[in-house]
């Protein structure tokens, strides 16, 4: 909830008004007599406003919301920007989008790509990654475990197609040269989608089962190869950033200080959708804490959002 305060044009009245504003972390919005509003966050609200309102007269109103954590401040800034700054709000608050590794299924011969556009994320969209380089590294390494194509062309399969180095190295099924048909390629696509959706578990389980079977058959050389492959899969999965996983399986709980005294803010993310924050007070607790936590989780609901809002 933002607090709204009118700004007096007289310097003495403005200084008196500022004394009633808390000097604490907050998100604030200045409404000018002319031009666009100014939205920002600060750790010392009163001191920041003293600088911005000296001399007074250009600003007619200030709105502010005390915040208890940087996370709360970032969400408050984003929500207010969407309401007040028009279509260019993302650029004005310097909103940076994370990157994802996405399996595009619209092409006849699907491939993966690194993108900052989440879109309608279905199975096979892994993220968020901190930057493009970490996403590209994960994509390159996990593709070594499969034979999916890496070229970006819209393929026109033909026996005369020149192919590429990955096909020569046995790291691509070479659909461009009609070495495999659509059905065989789609089977590999399904394996890749399962790997991304399960965080590597689908491939880990089959490789582990193969290792155990070969070991039981006394094929120790084959079992050793499967063991090495299992280690490689574990290394590749470990290249993901801490939060990176299939977006539809991205769940999180945040616990941050609250702007309210004797309270914390609980934030919930479900299926890759941010559900907002719920305050949890520790004053007079007539209800047991575990019951209040369950109630807070239930009140968060499971709201969805448009692709753009979800991405932000």
> What is the rounded distance in angstroms from the CA atom of residue 101 to the CA atom of residue 199?
12
Percent of the chain with pLDDT over 70: 99
In the predicted model, is pLDDT for residue 164 greater than 90? no
In the predicted model, is pLDDT for residue 121 greater than 70? no
Picking from 12-26, 53-67, 252-266, 281-295, which range would have the lowest pLDDT averaged per residue? 281-295
DSSP string, 111-131: EEEEES---S--TTEEEEESS
- Averaged pLDDT score across all residues of the chain: 91
In the predicted model, is pLDDT for residue 123 greater than 70? no
What's the rounded mean pLDDT across residues 291-300? 84
Residue 45 pLDDT: 96
Residue 122 pLDDT: 61
In the predicted model, is pLDDT for residue 16 greater than 80? yes
Residue 232 pLDDT: 96
Residue 24 pLDDT: 94
Residue with tokens 């709980």: 253
Q: Kindly tell me the burial class for residue 230, based on how many C-beta atoms sit within 10 Å of its own C-beta (0-12, 13-18, 19 or more).
A: middle
What's the rounded mean pLDDT across residues 102-113? 90
In the predicted model, is pLDDT for residue 179 greater than 70? yes
Q: Which residues contact 226 (CB under 8 A, 6 or more apart)?
A: 207, 208, 210, 211, 214
Residue 166 pLDDT: 85
Residues 100/305, Cβ–Cβ less than 8 Å: no
Structural Rg of the chain based on CA atoms: 27
Task: Give ∠ CA 32-33-37 in degrees, rounded to 5.
Answer: 25
Residue 191 pLDDT: 95
What's the rounded mean pLDDT across residues 272-300? 84
Percent of the chain with pLDDT over 90: 65
Residue 109: pLDDT band (50, 70, 90) is very high
The token pair that represents 308 in the structure block: 């753009």
Residue 143: pLDDT band (50, 70, 90) is very high
Query: 183-240 pLDDT, tens per residue?
Result: 999 999 999 999 999 999 999 999 999 999 999 999 999 999 999 999 999 999 999 9
Q: Which residues contact 131 (CB under 8 A, 6 or more apart)?
A: 99
> What is the rounded distance in angstroms from the CA atom of residue 212 to the CA atom of residue 86?
60
């Amino acid at each position: 909830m933002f607090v709204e305060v009118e700004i007096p044009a007289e310097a003495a009245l403005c200084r008196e008004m500022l004394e009633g504003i808390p000097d604490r972390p907050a998100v604030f919005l200045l409404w000018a007599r002319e031009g666009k509003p100014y939205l920002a966050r600060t750790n010392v609200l009163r001191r920041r406003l003293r600088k911005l309102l000296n001399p007074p007269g250009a600003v007619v109103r200030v709105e502010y919301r005390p915040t208890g954590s940087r996370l709360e401040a970032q969400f408050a800034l984003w929500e207010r920007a969407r309401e007040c700054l028009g279509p260019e709000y993302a650029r004005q608050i310097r909103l940076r989008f994370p990157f994802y590794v996405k399996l595009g299924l619209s092409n006849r011969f699907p491939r993966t790509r690194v993108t900052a556009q989440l879109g309608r994320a279905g199975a096979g969209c892994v993220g968020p990654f901190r930057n493009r380089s970490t996403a590209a590294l994960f994509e390159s390494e996990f593709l070594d475990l499969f034979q999916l194509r890496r070229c970006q062309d819209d393929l026109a399969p033909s026996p005369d197609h020149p192919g590429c180095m990955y096909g020569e190295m046995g790291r691509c099924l070479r659909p461009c040269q009609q070495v495999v048909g659509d059905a065989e390629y789609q089977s590999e696509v399904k394996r890749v989608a399962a790997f991304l959706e399960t965080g590597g578990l689908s491939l880990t389980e089959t490789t582990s089962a193969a290792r155990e079977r070969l070991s039981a058959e006394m094929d120790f050389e084959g079992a050793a190869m499967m063991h090495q492959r299992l280690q490689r899969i574990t290394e590749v999965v470990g290249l993901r950033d801490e939060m990176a996983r299939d977006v539809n399986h991205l769940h999180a709980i945040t616990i941050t200080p609250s702007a309210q005294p004797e309270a914390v803010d609980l934030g919930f993310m479900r299926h890759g959708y941010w559900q907002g924050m719920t305050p949890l007070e520790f004053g007079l607790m007539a209800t047991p804490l575990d019951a209040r936590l369950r109630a807070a989780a239930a009140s968060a609901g499971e709201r969805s959002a448009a692709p753009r809002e979800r991405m932000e």
